Structures are given as C-alpha cells and as structure tokens.
Structure 1
Amino acid sequence: MMITVQDFTGVYAEQAFMQELRATAETSKDVRWLDCTKIVGTDCYCDDDAIKEINESIDNAESDSKSECNRIIENRDNSTNDIAPQPSIHFFDNGNYHYMSKLWTDRVQEPFTLIVFDHHPDMQPPRFGGILSCGGWVKEVLDNNKFIQNAIIIGVKDELVETVREELSQSRESSILDKVTFIRESELSILSSLICSDFVNVLSPNLYISIDKDALSPSYAVTNWDQGSLTLDALKDCITALTTGRRILGVDICGERAHDFEGDEHHTIQEADTLNSELNRELVEFLKKIKEY
C-alpha cells in the first residue's frame, strides 16, 4: 500500500508518526513525501498555476515509483506484468487543503462512490470565478468527474445541510443534490443503522474515501475548523461496514491543526501534536487491516 504525504504548512514536523513516514520515504518505495510548502496559491483556494504544480509533483513521484516497481518486477523469477494497482492513502495537511481530494479523484478512471467524513458539506457554489476551494470541492467533483456515481457525506453540522440546499437552490443547481446523501451530525447516534439502510444498495462497487478529521470530536483530533462529535470507533465501524464486499480506490486524510495554533481550551500545542500523530498512526494501521487492502 502506498502512502503519500503532501506537506503544505510544515505542521507534520511536530508529529512523531509523520516524521517516521518522512524517514521511511527516503529508503522505501511505499512512502512518498511531497514538499508543497513553496507552492503559492494553495491556502483554502487553489489557483490554476498551483493545480498544475501540484499535479506535476504527483506525476513525478508516481513516475519514480513505477520505475522502481518495474525494476523489481524485472528482477523477479517467473514474474508477471499483470499487477493489480493498489489503493493509496494520501495525507494533505489541514482542512484548508481538502480540495486535494478533487485532484486525487480526478485520477480515478472507473465508476465510484465518494464517501466523505466532514463536519462541513464542502458543496458551496464557486464564489471567485470557479476557482477550486476547500469549501466547494465536493460540488466540483460532482459537476465535473464523469466517473462519480454518488456521494455520501457523514457528520455534517445540521444547519449547514440546509444552508447548502438554499445556496444551490438560489444558483439553480439544486438538482446536484439528487446524487448526495447527507448523514447529519444529529444522526450519528444511529449511524450504524443508517449505513445498513437501503441507500447502501446504491453504492458503487468502488469507493473513494475522504476523511476530514474535523468530523471527529476534540477528544480524538485537533483541527483548524470547528469540530463535530463523531467518535473514532464509529468512524472505523462505518468504514468497515461500507467497504465490506467493495473495493477501496483510495483514502484521503486531512484535518491537522493550524500551523499557528497556540493552544485552546481543550489542548496545548504539544497535546494537539501528540493526539494528531497517534490518530494518524491509528488510521494507517486500521486501513492496512481492511480486507480489500
């Protein structure tokens, strides 16, 4: 399984687990560390030049990985080139960069359902000439990705669901909601029954999962946006249930603390970094154990 880390703000420097991944990237083809700190035009909004530069950095990393993989295959006895692609985990900093899920799903070449864990719907109509944003990337995927069949967004703050409905209605784009199922924060107590309901039957055999840790309560993560009340066990149980009998194409993880975080009523800086580091470790270990991986 490939792990790609895109470091936009330098926040991973304070996380022990992420620094382990950085060290591993120097010697292993299974981890890639992409330094994105010098790419301008990326914070909350991603302009065309930044998109081009980000995609080029991914392309270069994937080219290097494929070259290494081909060398390994050539050195194996009785090897075959019929190697099934493996799903990847992508880390990309705090929630301001959640639009990276749009760029990663652009690379999917088969029908899929998008599963999003987020305290925000990320479906705002574009406000600045159609520029890609962390607050509107889900809508961009639904509008422009020919392979997406539907989206399930889990843990959204209740009032934001109504807000996005109103915004899309005002822009005469409400029909896009036919492809979206919201599981509101108030419904998390019955999450297990909801994911076993009829809507599961409309999921694609292929799933793409995007996790913004702000869906979790502050007991599990420290993020740069207001947080929900999802528990880590509920997140794991939901992923396990949804992926049973289905194939995972990729998993995105964002929702780190802000780079200039100075502590809050819940955590000091050190406590935040320790908590986020251990959560990232636990998510990777959990995802590695999922049958489809």
Structure 2
Amino acid sequence: MIITVQDFTGVYAEQPFMQELRAAAETSKDVHWLNCTKIVGTDCYCDDDAIKEINELIDNAGSSIFENRGNSTNDIAPQPSIHFFDNGNYHYMSKLWTDRVQEPFTLIVFDHHPDMQPPRFGGILSCGGWVKEVLDNNEFIQNVIIIGVKDELVETVREELSQSGEASILEKVTFIRESDQSILSSLVFRLSSPHSLYISIDKDALLPAYAATNWDQGSLTLDALKESITVLTAGRKILGIDICGERAHDFEGNEHHTVQEADRLNSELNRELVEFLQKL
C-alpha cells in the first residue's frame, strides 16, 4: 500500500513510527510526506484557498488513491492508499480524498461523532460536517455507515437535519451507535451491496487505552475495530483508507496520559494499523 502523511500541526514529530515514514519518504515511491503546516485556513474549517493548495500539494506529490504500483493488468484491483492527516480537526480531508473516487462506493466511517452537521458558515467545509458534504456533492456515494457514534449525537443530527429540511439525506446513512453490542451482525446485514469501500478512521472512536486524541473518545476496542474492518473488506475492493485522531499539538496531558505516553501510544497504534491494513 502507498502511504501519504499530511502533517498539519507538527504532532508527528514525537512519534517514532511516523518519523520512520518521514525518513522513508526521502527514498521510497510508496511513501509521501506532505508538509501542510504552512497552509492557512485549515484548522477545523477548510476554506476554498486552502482546499486548492492542499489538492495541488497532493497532485504534485503524485499521491493517488488509484496508484497501481506499476501493475498494468486490468483485472487486478489497484493497491489502495493509506492517508494519515493529523488530529480530528482535519477529518474533512476524507472529503477531499473521496472527491477523487470515480466509481460507486460505500463510505465506512469509524468516529465517535457523526460529522454531519449542516454548514454554519456559508457552506465552508468543516471537520464536523464533511460526511454531509460528501453525501450532498459526491455523485458516486451510495451509502454511509458510521460506526461507534455517541448515542445522543445521533439524535442531535436527526433533529438538526429535520429542522433544515434535509432529513431525507439520512436514507443513505446507517449509524452503528456506541452502545450497539452487535456491530458485526449489523455490518453483515447492511453490506449486502457489491460497492467498493472507502474507509475513514478517526481514532477518537477508540477507548483512551488505545489512543490519545483531541476530542472526547468512545468505547471501541482495537480488536473490535480490526474485526469490523476484516468483515467489511472481505471480498470487496478498497479504494482508500484514512486515519486521523492524533493528540492536539498543544496537549499538556490529562487524566489518561502524559504527553510522552500519548505520543508513544499513538505511534504504536499507527504502526499496528499500518501493519494490519497492509495484510488485507
């Protein structure tokens, strides 16, 4: 798999695994390190100028979710890419990556938040509303499954979309709530369609024992995340896999982790996710 890292805040500097990737990017065509720290207008909200600059950076690096690593056989699916893009404030990057999809697909999102808020500032892309933007604007999206969502936030989204007259969009969305104890059976039932998959992971869906993020976290275990992905991807084409949910760049420690513990935990998790995903 090709790996692209988008560094927005410098948070990866203290993660040994991510620094290994940064070093690999110097010589390997399979690893791209994109320095996004100088791009303005990106924190939580991404304005049009920033979107243009980010897309140009991706294009210039040659990173594509359809890059085939030299394989020219038409009946073999191209290798999917893994995209890292910092903390949860940049989860909207999944919208920019899925903009590049050119076939029908199902979007799978692991997140403690639904990320489906109606736009609050003139339709500007945000980390809290990017899933809705995909549903509104991507002609290839067939449906969305959001896994690990905080229960009460599901009802909040339903109310907000009803008030804005956009409740019909939920016909394409399945929420698997944090309290749902039958995640795998729900996934098997829902994924009867043959569509390709795009997977987006915000690590805040996980318990604090597995990750240190910049948003409130859920109760998903790492084993449950892996098992869900294994079930989801069986016999299906994967178009791309996104990973975000690092600690905030100004994190000073909390009741769960010191700064050093957070960096070690996230580095180990990122390594484990890459090793797992590369075996799919």
Q: TM-score range by the shorter chain?
A: over 0.9
Match of 1:196 in 2: 188
Distance 1:108 1:80, change over 3 A: closer
Match of 2:214 in 1: 224
Counting only pairs closer than 5 Å after superposition, residues 41-120 of structure 1 correspond to structure 2 as: 41-62=41-62, 84-120=77-113
Deviations 1:101-125 (A, max 9, x none): 0000000000000000000000000
Distance 1:233 1:66, change over 3 A: closer
CA separation in 1, counterparts of 2:22 and 2:137?
Answer: 34
Match of 1:260 in 2: 250
Which structure dedicates a bigger proportion of its chain to helix?
1
Secondary structure, aligned partner of 1:286: helix
Query: Displacement, 1:193?
Result: 2.2
Distance 1:233 1:155, change over 3 A: same
Q: State which of 260, 276, 279 in structure 2 corresponds to 1:270.
A: 260
Match of 1:13 in 2: 13
The normalised TM-score by structure 1 is 0.92
Amino acid at match of 1:190: S
CA separation in 1, counterparts of 2:234 and 2:72?
Answer: 28
Query: Displacement, 1:190?
Result: 1.7
1:281 aligns with 2:271: yes
CA separation in 1, counterparts of 2:64 and 2:158?
Answer: 43
Structure 2, unaligned runs of 5 or more? none
Contact 1:90–1:251 (Cα < 8 Å) also in 2: yes
Contact 1:29–1:65 (Cα < 8 Å) also in 2: no
Match of 1:146 in 2: 139
Q: State which of 210, 222, 229 in structure 2 corresponds to 1:239.
A: 229
Contact 1:220–1:232 (Cα < 8 Å) also in 2: yes
Runs (4+) off by over 4 Å: 63-67, 79-84
Secondary structure, aligned partner of 2:100: coil
Amino acid at match of 1:24: A
Deviations 1:218-253 (A, max 9, x none): 000000000000000000000000110101000000
The normalised TM-score by structure 2 is 0.96
Query: Displacement, 1:80?
Result: 5.3
Distance 1:165 1:25, change over 3 A: same
CA separation in 2, counterparts of 1:139 and 1:65?
Answer: 21
Query: Displacement, 1:196?
Result: 2.5
Secondary structure, aligned partner of 2:225: helix
CA separation in 1, counterparts of 2:172 and 2:274?
Answer: 29
Deviations 1:250-283 (A, max 9, x none): 0000000000000001110000000000000000
CA separation in 2, counterparts of 1:50 and 1:211?
Answer: 22
Match of 1:215 in 2: 205
Larger Rg: 1
CA separation in 2, counterparts of 1:193 and 1:11?
Answer: 36
Root-mean-square deviation (CA, aligned residues, Å) is 2.0
Amino acid at match of 2:51: I
Query: Displacement, 1:170?
Result: 0.3
Contact 1:17–1:281 (Cα < 8 Å) also in 2: yes
Distance 1:211 1:65, change over 3 A: closer
Amino acid at match of 1:23: A
CA separation in 1, counterparts of 2:222 and 2:242?
Answer: 16
